[in-house]
Amino acid sequence: MHHPVISPVREPLVQGRKSYHQITEDICAPTEKAPNLAWTAGFLLSVAIAAFGVACILLTIWNGIGEWNLNRTIGWGWDITNFVWWIGIGHAGTLISAILLLFRQKWRTGVNRAAEAMTIFAVICAGLFPLIHMGRIWLAFFIFPYPNTRGPLWVNFNSPLLWDVFAISTYFTVSLLFWYTGLVPDFATVRDRAKGVRKKIYSVLAMGWTGAAKHWQRHESLSLVLAGLATPLVLSVHTIVSFDFATSVIPGWHTTIFPPYFVAGAIFSGFAMVLTLMIITRKVLGLEEYITVGHIESMNKIIVLTGSIVGVAYLTELFIAWYSGYIYEQFAFYNRALGPYWWSYFGMMTCNVISPQFFWSKKLRRNIAFTFVLSIFINLGMWFERFVIIVTSLHRDYLPSSWSMYAPTWVEVGIFVGTIGIFFVLFLIFVRVAPVVAIAEIKHVLRSSGDQYTGYDADPKYKEYYESVKSGEHAASHDQH
């Protein structure tokens, strides 16, 4: 039935000659033992930062958004910048869990669980910003079309801002369902190892999963269709976010390139955040044999692809601004690059266009420390991108008498930093209570991708060949088997 796949070119995805049982042991371990010092310190720090952020949010709600430095010209500042930044980060999780599933990329199994968790937590952080920006957050339910006593007076279904409401709430719901459905069999694994109160809790979380053949068949069918639904969904979400800008008449926003440009940027920034998180997680939880250097290299390849798409989009924007012959558009781009906010444009160009190009080098793609530093640069660069698009486009109005400048108050900075705290609090709780790597999926790919089955360490001849491929000496591609 099964014959080993000898593939010296494809790197093994699971290292350390794991048995099925060893996989269970390794991945369940972080949920079963007391947290180590690194986790505890990180958690306390995140809680402190999150608490400060919540205080800033409450201050904003109590006093109104006068706590921020927005003005009549610049109506969107750090709030919407942060919203788009967080939503973009979420996109990588869905790309890994859905699009790579459809493309049958087996390496996704090492990182999909944590990346999907990242998506959910990032969308939670993102959703906060439009809500508090409303000012009167207690009336937030007005954004939903519900029968009311004012007519009923309905919401404007033609408005991209309302499309956003539907896109983001759908995205959150579908991501959560997809993630949880994948977690159910793994919760059952934890349940069957647990005792006492933990067993009771995990019994409820596992929803009575038994691993019956028919249930697995339906589970597979469900995952595939959910992936098929999530794929256009994730593309639609950032497309609709870009419509918030593109359907307006602000120079620098009113362009047809926005949807693909935003989607590529979202995936780019999301992978940077996945790398930031995974590089820490694999180290702290000792999962280096499941989230291997090969996984990091694969993600870096996506970084270089999407980073280059983003770079081409920036240059296209510049060219079209000049080629349009429309002076307002030309001024908007001249002002972005050389106006008072030149530093944000410079930061964006350096971090997003130049830095990913380093990843054409295989050595750097496989260098963990370098990848970590670069992922931080990309996270920063993508924040700058949203700031450039929002603030620089707004601050020079059609009427020079309305021209204005904007810098955040400490409350705005506090809310942004606070959401990073909230994000890490949620993520750190997640790594303690749920299996960070999808156990059943890793077991499923073990026989085709475990190092003892790929011929990598079984056959000395292949090991030598494999080492030469890894070091880049052997450039030739080789068929499987």
**Helix residue ranges per DSSP H, 325-400:** 327-338, 342-349, 362-365, 368-387, 393-395
- Name the residue nearer to another protein (CB basis): 24 or 276: 24
Does 152 bind another protein (CB under 8 A)? Our answer is yes
- How far apart are alpha carbons 90 and 92 in whole angstroms? 6
Does 434 bind another protein (CB under 8 A)? Our answer is no
> Minimum distance from CB of 405 to another protein (Å)?
31
Return the residue matching tokens 């002076």. 327
| Cis, peptide link before residue 147, omega less than 30° from 0 | no
Does 113 bind another protein (CB under 8 A)? Our answer is no
- Name the residue nearer to another protein (CB basis): 32 or 220: 220
Does 197 bind another protein (CB under 8 A)? Our answer is no
- How far apart are alpha carbons 152 and 417 in whole angstroms? 40
CA dihedral of 468, 471, 473, 474, whole degrees rounded to 10 = 50
- Name the residue nearer to another protein (CB basis): 181 or 350: 181
Site for another protein in 214-253 (CB under 8 A): 214-222, 224-226, 229-230, 232-233, 236, 240, 243
- Name the residue nearer to another protein (CB basis): 236 or 375: 236
Question: 473 Cβ partners below 8 Å, 6+ apart?
Answer: none
If phi over 0 gives left and psi between -120 and 50 gives alpha, with beta otherwise, what is residue 275?
alpha
User: How many other β-carbons are positioned within 10 Å of the β-carbon of residue 117?
Assistant: 22
Give residue 13's Cα distance to chain centre: 22
If phi over 0 gives left and psi between -120 and 50 gives alpha, with beta otherwise, what is residue 151?
left
| 14 strand-pairing partners | 450
Return the residue matching tokens 């010296």. 8
- How far apart are alpha carbons 364 and 19 in whole angstroms? 32
Does 163 bind another protein (CB under 8 A)? Our answer is yes
Residue 156, CA atoms < 13 Å, CB-side half-sphere: 4
Does 323 bind another protein (CB under 8 A)? Our answer is no
Residue type at 98 in one-letter notation: A
- How far apart are alpha carbons 217 and 219 in whole angstroms? 5
For residue 356, the 8-state DSSP code is G
Interface pattern 435-454 for another protein (x via CB under 8 A): ----xxx-xx--x-------
Does 158 bind another protein (CB under 8 A)? Our answer is yes
Q: For another protein, which residue of 167, 263, 313, 374 counts as binding (CB under 8 A)?
A: 167
> Minimum distance from CB of 169 to another protein (Å)?
8
- Name the residue nearer to another protein (CB basis): 91 or 396: 91
Does 211 bind another protein (CB under 8 A)? Our answer is yes
- Name the residue nearer to another protein (CB basis): 137 or 177: 177
Asked if 416 and 82 count as a contact pair (C-beta separation under 8 A), the reply is yes
Does 173 bind another protein (CB under 8 A)? Our answer is yes
Interface pattern 1-20 for another protein (x via CB under 8 A): xx----------------xx
> Minimum distance from CB of 156 to another protein (Å)?
7
- Name the residue nearer to another protein (CB basis): 189 or 367: 189
Sign of the Cα torsion 17, 23, 29, 32 reads negative
Does 276 bind another protein (CB under 8 A)? Our answer is no
- How far apart are alpha carbons 307 and 335 in whole angstroms? 23
Q: For another protein, which residue of 69, 73, 203, 361 counts as binding (CB under 8 A)?
A: 203
Question: Stretches 147-155, 266-274, 298-306, 393-401: which one binds another protein (CB under 8 A)?
Answer: 147-155
- Name the residue nearer to another protein (CB basis): 408 or 435: 435
Does 206 bind another protein (CB under 8 A)? Our answer is yes
> Minimum distance from CB of 188 to another protein (Å)?
5
- How far apart are alpha carbons 413 and 407 in whole angstroms? 10
Residue 391, CA atoms < 13 Å, CB-side half-sphere: 28
Site for another protein in 16-55 (CB under 8 A): 19-21, 24
Does 138 bind another protein (CB under 8 A)? Our answer is no
> Minimum distance from CB of 155 to another protein (Å)?
9
Footprint on this chain of another protein (rule: CB under 8 A):
1-2, 19-21, 24, 145, 151-154, 156-158, 160, 162-163, 166-167, 170, 173-174, 177-178, 181, 184-185, 188-189, 191-193, 200, 203-204, 206-222, 224-226, 229-230, 232-233, 236, 240, 243, 439-441, 443-444, 447
